[in-house]
Chains A and B, each alone.
Chain A
Amino acid sequence: GDSVTQMEGPVTLSEEAFLTINCTYTATGYPSLFWYVQYPGEGLQLLLKATKADDKGSNKGFEATYRKETTSFHLEKGSVQVSDSAVYFCALSDWGNTGNQFYFGTGTSLTVIP
């Protein structure tokens, strides 16, 4: 079945450091891939997405490229800020017998210190 594996945290970085959060997936079809962010006490918000191989999703300085050959969708940001402190979830969307289903990774907690 479909699944998502992302690097375990927590991750602690200094402000302006480079961020990478690894995500790999297993899927039977041609999934869409997503990164969601969750700030404390809130629900998940879509950060970026890619719907086919070699697509790059980007938003708020974050980027991720859909790599079919390595089944990966790693999240990167060149210079993190304290306000980026949150939990990040990698997810894929695929089609099952009764429609569209999502599969989430376990989340990676990021803390950025000044």
Chain B
Amino acid sequence: DAGITQSPRHKVTETGTPVTLRCHQTENHRYMYWYRQDPGHGLRLIHYSYGVKDTDKGEVSDGYSVSRSKTEDFLLTLESATSSQTSVYFCAISSYESSYEQYFGPGTRLTVT
């Protein structure tokens, strides 16, 4: 299994509070991705990174920001959480060396009350 961890694994927070989710990899993969998974929508891309300090928006980026200050860590921040951001969040990584297959972390279940 690819070395990807996500923290926290579960979180309950209140509307309006800031939340940061962390993705950590030990594979030295160049690309990192944040997705959210919701019933009926499958996986939707929030943001992705193609290198340290290089990020871009995905399909559902409103209300989210990201940062990548080193290869192994990719942070997802909800500046002011809303109930619509209740979801399961997955991090994924890929690289040229892995033939661009995406490897997924175990997920973070976030509930905004």
Contact = CB atoms under 8 A, between A and B. Distances in A.
Given A104-B43, A105-B42, A44 B100 contact: no
Interface string B79-112: 0000000000010101000011111111100000
Contacts of B42: 89, 104-107
A77 interface: no
B50 A89 contact: no
Interface residues of B, number: 26
Nearest to B54: A98
A51 B35 CA distance: 23
Chain A facing B: main interface SS: strand
The binding surface of chain B is classed by DSSP as strand
18 contacts: A43-B90, A43-B104, A43-B107, A44-B102, A45-B104, A46-B102, A89-B42, A89-B43, A91-B102, A93-B100, A99-B30, A99-B48, A100-B31, A102-B45, A104-B42, A104-B44, A105-B42, A106-B40
Nearest 3 A-B pairs (CB), nearest first?
A: A43-B104, A106-B42, A99-B50
Interface of B: 30-31, 33, 35, 40-45, 48, 50, 54, 56, 90, 92, 94, 99-107
